[in-house]
Chains A and B, each alone.
Chain A
Amino acid sequence: MKYIDEFQDPDLARRLLDDIHSTVTRPWALMEVCGGQTHTIIRHGIDQLLPEQVELIHGPGCPVCVTPLEVIDKALEIASRPGVIFCSFGDMLRVPGTGRDLFQVRGAGGDVRVVYSPLDALRIAQQNPDREVVFFGIGFETTAPPNAMTVYQARRLGIRNFSLLVSHVRVPPAIEAIMQSPNCRVQGFLAAGHVCSVMGVEEYPELAERFRVPIVVTGFEPLDILEGVRRTVAQLERGEHTVDNAYPRAVRPEGNAAARAMLEDVFEVTDRAWRGIGVIPDSGWRLSAKYRDHDAEHRFSVEGIQTREPAECRSGEVLQGLLKPHECEAFGTLCTPRTPLGATMVSSEGACAAYYLYRRLELTPAPREASPVV
Chain B
Amino acid sequence: MCLAVPGRVLDIEERDGTRMANVDFGGVVKEVCLEYLPDLQVGEYAIVHVGFALQRLDEESAKQTLELFATLGMLQEEFGDPWEMAAEAGGTLPPEEEGARR
Report Cα–Cα, A252/B58, bound state, in Å: 13
Question: Within 8 Å of chain B (Cβ to Cβ): is A62?
Answer: yes
Residues of chain A lying within 8 A (CB to CB) of residue B51: 116-120, 146
Please state if A146 and B94 are interface contacts (CB–CB under 8 Å): no
Q: Which of A137-145, A234-242, A266-274 contacts B (4 or more CB under 8 A)?
A: A137-145
Q: Which of A90-142 contact B (CB under 8 A)?
A: 90-91, 93-94, 101, 103-104, 106-107, 114, 116-120, 139-140, 142
Please state if B92 and A194 are interface contacts (CB–CB under 8 Å): no
Question: Within 8 Å of chain B (Cβ to Cβ): is A43?
Answer: yes
- B56-78 interface bits toward A, Cβ cutoff 8 Å, 1 = contact, 0 = none: 01100100110110001000010
Residues of chain A lying within 8 A (CB to CB) of residue B35: 149, 258
Residues of chain A lying within 8 A (CB to CB) of residue B67: 8
Residues of chain B lying within 8 A (CB to CB) of residue A149: 33, 35-36, 52
Please state if A256 and B2 are interface contacts (CB–CB under 8 Å): no
Which of A35, A106, A336, A346 is within 8 Å of B2, CB to CB?
A35
Q: Which of B9-54 contact A (CB under 8 A)?
A: 16-18, 30-33, 35-38, 47, 49-52, 54
Residues of chain A lying within 8 A (CB to CB) of residue B72: 43
Question: Within 8 Å of chain A (Cβ to Cβ): is B1?
Answer: yes
Residue among B1, B2, B17, B35 with max Cβ neighbours from chain A (10 Å): B2
Chain A interface (Cβ < 8 Å from any Cβ of B): 8, 34-36, 43, 61-64, 89-91, 93-94, 101, 103-104, 106-107, 114, 116-120, 139-140, 142-143, 145-146, 149, 153, 156-157, 192, 194, 197-198, 220-221, 249-252, 256, 258-259, 262, 336-340, 346, 348-349
